[in-house]
Structures are given as C-alpha cells and as structure tokens.
Amino acid sequence: MVEPFNSNPAISLEKLTKVYGQLGHLPVRKVTALSEVSLNVEKGSSVVLVGPNGAGKTTLIKILLGLVRPTSGSARVCGLSPHLPESRRHIGYVPETVKFPGFYKAIDVLQTAGELFSLPREELGLRSKQLLSFCGLEGWEHLEIRRCSKGMLQKLAFAQALINDPDILLLDEPFTGMDVVARKKFAEIVSGAKSKRGRTIILSTHILSDVVDLCDEVVILVAGKVHKVLPVVELTRSMAYVVTISGDANVSNEDEVEICGRLFYREGSVLKAQVSGASSLSSFMNCLGKLNISIQSIEPRSFNFALLFQHGEEGQ
C-alpha cells in the first residue's frame, strides 16, 4: 500500500526531485524529471507506475537502483540509501530492454548473476535450476541467448532478478514486445514470485490490462509529479472494452452500423464496437440484451489515460 511517509516501509521517497542538465553554472537546458515526489510503498504490496512518456517512471526506478542521484530530496530502500551496496542486495531488477551476450546460455546468465552476489557454488547451481523451472524455462538451460524469443528473454531476466532472493522487485515496462499469451504467462510468473515470498513490487507499464490482477495500487505520474494514488480497481473506470456480436445483428449487411448508440464495424462474420468505462459497458450490455442481441465476447484492450489524469487533476 502507498501511504504517507512513515518509519518502516519497503520504499520511501520524500520530496524526491531530479533535474537533468545541471552542469554547474553553465547555461544548459534543464529538464525536471521528478518534482518533490513523496510516497511510501509498504512491504508486501505491489504498485504500478503509469503516465505518458517523460512522466518520470524510469528515472524513479533508476534512482531506487542507485544508478541516478537525485538533485534533492531522499529515497530509501529498506531504510538504506540506494547508493549503498547493501541496498542492492534487497532488489531484483528487470529492465525494459533485456540484453545478454548472444553466445551465453540461459544457465550462464544465472551463474554470472549469482557469482556477483557471492552465492556459494552448490547453492547457486541448485537455485539456478529452481528459478529456470519456476520461470517456465526448464529444459532450456543450455539454449543460447541469440536463439531466445522476446518472451523467453523476459523470463530469463526475471529469473536473474530473483537469483539473490530479493525483498523488492523493480520491473520497468516488462511486457514490452510480448504478445498477449506471453504477457499473460509472464504476469502469472510475477504474481507467483510475489505470493510465495511476500515481495514488494514496483512495476511500470503502458499495458495496464495485464496488471489489474497483479498490483494493488496505481501511482499516476505526470510531468514528474504524483497526480494521484488510486486502488488498482479504479482502473476499470478507464478501461476500454471491445464488444463482439454476431454479424447477423446487422440486418442491412453494411460494414458499419449503429446499435444502442455505438458504432459497430464489421470484421468477417462479426461486428465489433469499443466501449470506454465499466459503467458504460454495463448500460450497453443491458441495451443489447433488450434487443435480444447475443454478445460473443468482451475483451479489455486498453485504458483511457485522459480519464486517469483527470482523476489526478481532481485530487490536486
């Protein structure tokens, strides 16, 4: 749970600010990536960071990793400064773009990571096999990286992030480049890692439909500021749904037809329309029911970021 500043969170940020482009007194263009961000993430909770490009999501994660120093304010990981080596033992990290040496094998990635954490050889061998199995890569330990799919690389990166048995997982756009099936499987792996150990998760993503069941709360970042903190269930208010009905409902056989105030488009033998918001979807379904039109499927597709940011503005 994200709460006001207190004494014992997994992650705490207090008036965290990062300004890029500061070179002494030189007249260079400054960019404020984060502006006085204050929040706490409690142990065992999971939080998703959302916002447009440039909102500060990646900068925030890099500060927690100790890769970027804040201009002002403070960040703590399990009570420690992110720049202390001890803090990094608490963290597992999956970047947006996963890159390993092409000639490496999957097992080599985990062995190298474990050696960096000085894990005993016997423990490392056992843990590597366990993690490959847990992440759905059992039997692939000797596959070369150059032959791995995007989904396999993400799973391997996640296994590497777990090698030191961390308390906190930082996942930066982990679903990028995956198809629907791969995203679902990866989300299940992340969920399993959280539930088995009670880990804290900070995740940034644009594919919000994949994290409704994974995260507890959403932090909306806009222009480097926290606009709003919402329970993740609030995201359903901004979700866009694609409703599919039989093409027989269109008696005129046109490519486009308006039904219940919504414009349907023909795709082969079916008609599809998009509806934004859970309440609108409910009303729309009732209307179709009154017309005896049967619904073949309802699929979540995306979220209306404008509505999320509107929530943030209302909270200012």
| 94 contacts 158 by C-beta, under 8 angstroms | yes
Rounded Cα gap, residues 194 and 188, in angstroms:
10
Task: Give yes or no: residues 253 and 214 share one domain.
Answer: no
- Shared domain for 111 and 243, answered yes or no, is no
Polymer length of the chain: 316
Residues 41 and 190 in one domain: yes
pLDDT at 4: 42
Mean pLDDT of 54-58: 89
Q: Is the pLDDT confidence value at 274 over 80?
A: yes
In a domain, 122, yes or no: yes
Domain shared by 84 and 171, yes or no = yes
pLDDT at residue 187 above 70?
yes
| Mean pLDDT within 10-32 | 82
- Read off the pLDDT of residues 24-44 as tens digits, 9 standing for 90 and up: 666 667 889 999 999 999 999
Q: Which two tokens stand for residue 279?
A: 């309440």
**Residues 143, 59 share a domain:** no
CATH number at residue 259: 3.30.70
Same domain, 55 and 174: yes
Check residue 96 and give its pLDDT.
87
Write down the pLDDT at residue 33.
Answer: 93
Q: pTM for this one? A: 0.76
**Range of 284's domain?**
237-303
Whole-number Å distance between alpha carbons of 57 and 68: 13
| Position 255 confidence tier, pLDDT thresholds 50, 70, 90 | confident
Q: Which residues contact 285 (CB under 8 A, 6 or more apart)?
A: 243, 295, 298
* Whether residue 21 sits in one domain with residue 60: yes
pLDDT tier, 252 (very low <50, low <70, confident <90, very high otherwise)? low
- Same domain membership, residue 194 and residue 184: yes
CATH for 46: 3.40.50.300
Q: At what angle do helices 180-197 and 150-161 cross, to 10 degrees?
A: 10
Q: Are residues 178 and 36 in the same domain?
A: yes
- Domain count across the chain: 3
Mean pLDDT, residues 207-225: 81
- pLDDT at residue 208 above 80? no
